[in-house]
Amino acid sequence: MKKLIISMVLAICWLCAISFSKEKFSASEEKLAKNTGEVTTVDTSLYCFTIKDQEGTETKFFTSPMKIRMISPGENIQVGYKKTTDGQLKALNIKQVKEKKKGKKTEKQGKKHSSP
């Protein structure tokens, strides 16, 4: 009788573990919308920040207390986000974007040196 009860408890735990792993897997596969721009404001008390994209459009995002610490005004970032049920934009991925240097491309020197 004890073996039967232990087997049933283990089976239930195993099924629960499988269902939780499937939920996490499907959520991670969901594609996020992306926006890139310069951080204009950061509110650490409300865990929100605003970025201004190249067209000049400002967009406000909410994020976690840990991620808000990584953001500073003036930084260029890419935000992966999704819209919540109440219409707010939840920033899930935040990456710093390296600024591309504007300048002339250096040419490779392909000169062959002749031996004397």
Closest CA to 41 of 68, 80, 78: 68
Other beta carbons within 10 Å of 115: 4
Structural domains of the chain ordered from first start: 33-96 (2.40.50.140)
| Residue burial 9-44, b: 16+ Cβ < 10 Å; e: rest | eeeeeeeeeeeeeeeeeeeeeeeeeebebbbeebee
**pLDDT tens digits for 60-112?**
999 999 999 999 999 999 999 999 999 999 999 999 998 765 555 554 444 55
Cα radius of gyration rounded to whole Å, the chain: 25
**pLDDT tens digits for 20-46?**
554 444 445 568 999 999 999 999 999
Rounded distance, CA 110 to CA 75, Å? 38
